[in-house]
């Protein structure tokens, strides 16, 4: 029987895998994404991303739609495996306050730059936004998190996007239904924003990952 080649792991993936293995050894069952996030002090969105990568690389198995179903296929990545996966860091501009009348990607709106592992975001042109508020907490995006956005003018139904309404940037889930365009919060305290007929609405890009600020 042929065995699949298993790629090396980034340090982040190795930490998640070690956390899962240790949790199972101690408790006899697998952790939830929320528990992994709490142990590692990262967002649930980041955990889901790392779990997907670990599953793709054949280190774990999961049963979709059910909790505590993570199975370990290879729990002991070697130091060589982790180090042999080249890490390419890319600079992503951190976007600050949006000033009326100033183009969103103008120098006046840049707070600085952050370094991000390219394997976590893929190819493209990116920018980062700092999350303010709790409107996306049910998607694991917390106040103070940095979100990495791939610049693109279009998005698909269900994508989490950065959008510009007038001069204000906002992060919401895009809903396209029977001609209606809504921006949906991930917190029941907030109401959807109807942008169907708004001329001042445009999509800045799609969220690809989050960076938790410690």
So which residues are the catalytic ones? 135, 172
Kindly report the length of the chain: 214
Q: Which residues pair with 206 in a beta bridge?
A: 150, 161
Number of helices (H) and strands (E) in the chain: give both, helices first: 4, 11
Structure tokens at 170: 């906002």
DSSP state of 158: T
Burial of 17 (0-12, 13-18, 19+ CB in 10 A): buried
Q: Do 147 and 129 touch, CB atoms closer than 8 A?
A: yes
| H/E element, 199 | none
Q: Do the strands 160-165 and 126-130 form a parallel or antiparallel pair, or are they unpaired?
A: unpaired
Nearest to 95, CA basis, from 32, 42, 12, 167 = 167
Q: Do 163 and 182 touch, CB atoms closer than 8 A?
A: no
Q: Which residue has the tokens 């730059």?
A: 113
């Amino acid at each position: 029987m042929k065995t699949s080649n298993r790629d090396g792991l980034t340090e982040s993936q190795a930490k998640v895998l070690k956390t899962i293995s240790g949790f199972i050894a101690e408790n006899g069952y697998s952790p939830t994404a929320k528990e992994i996030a709490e142990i590692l002090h990262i967002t649930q969105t980041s955990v889901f991303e790392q779990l997907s990568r670990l599953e793709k690389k054949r280190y774990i198995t999961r049963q979709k739609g059910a909790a505590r179903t993570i199975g370990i296929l290879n729990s002991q990545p070697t130091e060589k495996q982790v180090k042999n996966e080249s890490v390419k860091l890319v600079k992503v501009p951190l976007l600050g306050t949006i000033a009326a009348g100033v183009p969103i990607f103008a120098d006046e709106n840049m707070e600085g730059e952050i370094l991000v592992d390219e394997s976590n975001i893929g190819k493209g042109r990116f920018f980062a936004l700092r999350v303010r508020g709790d409107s996306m907490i049910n998607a694991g995006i917390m106040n103070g998190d940095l979100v990495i956005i791939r610049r693109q003018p279009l998005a698909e139904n269900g994508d989490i996007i950065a959008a510009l309404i007038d001069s204000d940037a906002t992060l919401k889930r895009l809903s396209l239904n029977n001609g209606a365009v809504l921006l949906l919060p991930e917190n029941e305290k907030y109401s959807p924003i109807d942008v169907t007929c708004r001329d001042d609405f445009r999509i800045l890009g799609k969220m690809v990952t989050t960076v938790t600020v410690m």
